[in-house]
Amino acid sequence: MKPNPSLFLLLTSFVALFVACGRDEPPPFPTQTPEFVERTVEPTALPGATPTALPTQTFTPAPTSTPTATPTPFITPPAAGENVVIPILMYHHLKYREANASQVLRTWSVAPNEFAAQLDFFQARGFHTITFKQLVEFFEDGAPLPTKPLLLTIDDGWIDSYTVAFPELKKRGMVGNFFVPTQYLDVGGELLINWEQAIEMDRAGMEFGGHTISHEDLTKITLEQMRRQLSGAKEKMEAKFGHPTYALSYPFGAFNPRVVAATQTAGYRAALILCCGYKIHADDLLTLPRIRISYDDTLEDIAKKLP
């Protein structure tokens, strides 16, 4: 029987995906940093590590911070040319790490108990979590937002998005924004969430955004490949969830003017880079800054990063 080249390529891509997932990390990052690119390094596996829980940081709000039944005030879009302060926090792994874990692992992880303490901290400080749908409607349609809006983003679709983030957010009536490559959702398993879990989260009020089909560095592929990665992921998500996909997280944080233009053409109305700050302008929705939260960040450290 004559070999089928398309079938061979499909099988090859899935083998590569499984190998990447088995390493507890996304596909390898490119070694070169082209002009205009925001880039970072993701965690690598720590062979033989046995997770150990750290003491949970405690934060006890003052009695006056107890929620009341008073209506939540709202903010309206800024005047032309002005910024609005909306922090966007960035998480990846929610996983315990060894005390001697590498700095790379500690940079891109947060312990589950610390994540829960941080959510309590945000609520005690009066922040209200929102979705990118709300953010887009705020800028495009003038829809108001609650005061002190906060966007919580979690990239890559690790299983702890479902086992840790989802229940902790739901318990507090908060929402999170999850960015997952569609091939990762196709595979699922012990390391990654699957479509069934993602749809459950979506129905409960969480929001999912694009992260391409296979976590490709969009600055390193042809325009045709880029369009397929962007549009293909968006179309599949919209078919699965039954509603529009508003935002994209650039894989590896890699972007340039061509990538931004293709992202807009594909229909995304907001997109995220890897750093830095919390001031947002209406003209910058396709290069939104984020604040990274890491393993060793104390609540005092996080307070200093927030407005």
CATH number, position 295:
3.20.20.370
The span from the CA of 231 to the CA of 250, in Å, is 13
67 located within any domain: no
Q: Using CA atoms in the order 156, 157, 158, 164, what is the torsion angle rounded to 10 degrees? A: 120
277 located within any domain: yes
CA angle 24, 109, 202 (to 5 degrees): 80
Is the pLDDT assigned to residue 269 strictly greater than 90? Answer: yes
The neighbour count for residue 68, using CB atoms within 10 Å, is: 7
The span from the CA of 158 to the CA of 24, in Å, is 9
215 located within any domain: yes
Tell whether omega for the bond before 276 is within 30 degrees of 0, i.e. cis: yes
Q: Identify the band that residue 145 occupies on the pLDDT scale cut at 50, 70 and 90.
A: very high
Of 78-87, 116-125, 297-306, where does mean pLDDT reach its minimum?
78-87
Task: Residue 293: give the domain boundaries.
Answer: 79-305
53 located within any domain: no
Q: Identify the band that residue 44 occupies on the pLDDT scale cut at 50, 70 and 90.
A: very low
Tell me the average pLDDT of the chain: 82
pTM for the structure as a whole: 0.79
How many folded domains does the chain comprise? Answer: 1
Is the pLDDT assigned to residue 7 strictly greater than 50? Answer: no
Residue 72: what pLDDT? 55
165 located within any domain: yes
The span from the CA of 193 to the CA of 136, in Å, is 26
Q: What is the number of helices (H) and of strands (E) in the chain?
A: 11, 14
From residue 205, how far is each of 45, 146, 177, 280, 294 by CA, in Å?
A: 32, 16, 10, 24, 25
Of residues 136 and 44, more confidence is placed in 136
Of residues 31 and 78, more confidence is placed in 78
Q: What is the CA radius of gyration of the chain?
A: 19
Task: Report the percent of the chain where pLDDT is more than 70.
Answer: 76
92 located within any domain: yes
143 located within any domain: yes
34 located within any domain: no
Kindly report, residue by residue over 195-237, the tens digit of the pLDDT. 999 999 999 999 999 999 999 999 999 999 999 999 999 999 9
Read off the pLDDT of each residue in 128-148 and give the average, rounded to a whole number: 95
Kindly report, residue by residue over 151-192, the tens digit of the pLDDT. 999 999 999 999 999 999 999 999 999 999 999 999 999 999
Is the pLDDT assigned to residue 95 strictly greater than 90? Answer: yes
Strand partners, 149: 128
* Residue located via tokens 């931004």: 260
